[in-house]
Amino acid sequence: MKRLSSKEIPVTETLETATEELTRGATFASRYEIIEELGKGGMGKVYRVEDKKIKEEIALKLIKPEIASDKKTIERFSNELKMARKIRHKNVCGMYDLGEEKGTHYITMEYVPGEDLKSFIRRAGPLSTGKTTFIAKQVCEGLAEAHELGVVHRDLKTQNIMIDNEGNSRIMDFGIARSIKGKGITSAGVMIGTPEYMSPEQVEGKHIDQRSDIYSLGVILYEMVTGRVPFEGNTALSIAMKHKSEAPKDPKEYNAEIPDGLSQLILKCLEKDKEDRDQSGGEVRSELENIEKGIPTTDRAIPKRKPITSREITVTFRLKKLFIPALVVIALVIATVIILRMLPHRQASIAVLPFTDLSPQKDQEYLCDGMTDEIIAKLSKLQGWKVMNMTSMMRYKNSDKDIKEIGRELDVATILEGRIRKEKDDIRVTAQLVNAEDGFQLWSETYEQKLERVFDIQSDIAEKIAKALRTKFSPEAGEQLQKKPTENLEAYRLYLQGRYFWNKRTEEDLKRAIEYFEQAIEKDPNYAMAYVGLADCYAVLPDYSYISIKEIIPKAKAAALKALEIDNNLGKAHASLANIKNDNWDWEGAEKEYKRAIELDPGYATAHHWYALYLMNMARFDEAIEEIKRALELDPLSLVINRNVGQVYFYARQYGQAIEALKRTIEMDPNFVYAHQLLGMAYSQKSMYDEALAEFQKEKDPSWKALTYVRMGRIGEAQDVLEDLLVRSKKESISLYTIATVYFVLGEDDHGFEWLEKGYGKRSGWVCNLKIDPALDSVRSDPRFKALLKKMNLE
């Protein structure tokens, strides 16, 4: 019977009834026109459809209601498909999306015309060694690509391998098997994994890795050469238990023509202990190639190009077959150029995802982080660009989130993703720029260079991204894109480790960061950014310890000035110097440096962040809120910026907004320093005393606990807090400002000013909050308070 083409099928109205009623010509979800039903499975029906939006035939898999009714199942589907979509390989069927239409969940994927391997074996019988190795090598290549990206199939079987119309093997349904909850058969009667192909560790519910797929591949090889699977039974459980406890028969017992090498390889893949199997698809492929060399040339399957019309997988290779795809590629390139030119000019926005380490030893994480950081740094220097900062992007490291979801979360139009593979002194870098809205690839390139050329690769990627997004930049900006941070890779690695610990913001981690930055400087004394890192650590250390600002400022200032001596146009160095001047109460000098830093490096979130805190201390709250919002826009997942959004709102006396911001921070990391303290302070100002005390239990600064006790009328407990502080101050460094504030809330103003003067003399931490701290509201009219403000140039 002649099969109608999609154009010949009459179009009916969009279907809004149950999925069982989908018929040829119907339209599903106002987008997918049904061409034919391809089959049924444990999960539901599969249809060949035309996607009317992109004018392309795809496969549509409708998920059974009994499966889709579990929200956790759908969530797992979504998470798995995000990973599966990253696999782009000629031997893997592309996975597209998970959607819902009027309560019906569905999966869209690439449509592969042809025949699944199970059907082919049933029709053709046991395959020859040549055909077996030909098909299996392609399956190994697809598996190797998936495994390299950390994706395990978990339900590999002959039904999930398609032989397309050109004779090539394609693995189907990546990202689906793991999504369904449980093992064996669910109450809804849905098979999780297929018992005939399950590895022993899968049967036992143990941890699954790529070697489970190698076992399933062994079953597939067994079936190809014998026409049967190694274990059969009456129930799913009986079959599964055989995988765990029984040894498979040698496939030569069923097919004496199988070469010894192939028989041994199959049995090796079927070893019960995964340590005894081949460990990767690449290893299996190498053994298959060796086996193939030992069989007659006439028995080898050579890829030709024609549809499968008989039991032979043979095709004629025609120039026309190549010419048409070539025209398609050319047309796509031309269309892309036209589309890009037609797009309206607007602010470029980009997120650079952490590069993935694909090196054999998985030991190049520092290099991946360095690549990410440096490209971000280069792009952030381009005027008018919105570039997500490194701290936010590190939260997507090893994430399986979809490009579209990341784009929505960060509110960016484009995303750069990349991979690095290093072997000895050689490095292979693959980068691609993607439209975050639709996943359309805008630019991609692969670099194969010596390791010492890594900085050249970074510069080239940044420049080509700018060109791909049609950004014109000045010669000065072009020089910045080409500039190398250092010539010393070891210094670079040490610098990155320093930044990692600096971002953790604890006293211990900041001290470790200082050590790394100092080691980086030893490796390269002219490494300006290492001096910036050193200056930043010294500048913030008093905020996270009882080390005096007065003691640490000279070290911080020396490091910042050294960085500027090396490179006076380094925005980050100007930001560091501004922060130091701020701590030294040189308010005018600090603001000048903050503005210079932002002018040189407008995308540097930390400059906006620190400037916001400066403006807050000056009681310029509207400006402070604007700057901290800009910092958050550039670095939305930074814990410290999220926390300090709450801090700015708190001192601006906008306590409701402060509480919201601090709750968001704590959701991101419940243990992040001082977030609970600030939240408790905001609760106290809202007279939510029980909530405030609960938050104070999680932090070590007791000043606001004492103030809250006083407001609750629990004066004795507030006095206990003060006595504890005084005792501890004799043995350890206690903030003098903190002791002063507790005296003030207890009404002992003379003692309060005595300790406040001590804090002023030693430049104690938090004294710069004098002008804005609600804890000092009771003494603001006191002449001694006004005199102190004048001495600090705050009045």
Q: Which 8-state DSSP code applies to residue 767?
A: G
CB 420 within 8 A of CB 359: yes
Structure-derived torsion over alpha carbons of residues 524, 530, 535, 539, reported in degrees to the nearest 10 = -140
Residues 6+ apart with CB under 8 A from 739: 722, 725, 726, 729, 755
For 621, the token pair is: 């709250």
Return d(Cα 159, Cα 731) in angstroms, integer. Answer: 73
d(CA 287, CA 140): 11
Q: By the 8 A CB rule, do 136 and 220 touch?
A: yes
Indicate the SS3 state at residue 40.
Answer: strand
**In the structure encoding, which two tokens stand for residue 409, read together?**
């979360």
Q: At what angle do helices 639-651 and 655-668 cross, to 10 degrees?
A: 160
Catalytic residue among 70, 116, 155, 777: 155
What is the DSSP secondary structure assignment for residue 306, as one 8-state letter? S
Identify which of 433, 459, 435, 454 has the alpha carbon closest to the alpha carbon of residue 444. Answer: 433
How far are the Cα atoms of 8, 560, 595, 597, 627 from residue 631, in angstroms, in the given order?
56, 22, 14, 13, 6
Element (H, E) at 426: strand 426-435
Write the CB contacts of 734 (distance below 8 Å, at least 6 apart in sequence): 546, 725, 728
How far, in Å, CA of 172 to CA of 110, rounded? 9
The β-bridge relationship of strands 56-62 and 386-387 is unpaired
- Compute the radius of gyration of the chain from its Cα atoms: 32
Whether 38 contacts 23, CB under 8 Å: no
**Two tokens, residue 195:** 């018992």
Can 155 be counted among the known catalytic residues?
yes
Residue among 635, 619, 660 nearest 792 (CA):
619
Closest among 105, 97, 28, 29 to 72, alpha carbons compared: 105
The residue count for the chain: 795
Q: What is the DSSP string of 640-692?
A: HHHHHHHHHHHHTT-HHHHHHHHHHHHHH-TT-TTHHHHHHHHHHHTT-HHHH
CA–CA distance, 602 with 380 (Å, rounded to integer) = 7
Asked whether the beta carbons of 457 and 429 are under 8 A apart, the reply is yes
If DSSP codes are grouped into helix, strand and coil, which group holds residue 124? Answer: helix
Distance CA 442, CA 415 (A): 10
Cα separation of 719 and 702, whole Å? 11
**Beta bridge mates, 360:** none
Strand runs labelled E in 29-75: 32-40, 45-51, 56-62
| Gap between the Cα atoms of 690 and 697, Å rounded | 11
| d(C-alpha 192, C-alpha 176), whole Å | 10
C-alpha distances (whole Å) from 679 to each of 263, 544, 660, 688 are 67, 17, 9, 11
- Which residues are marked as active site? 155
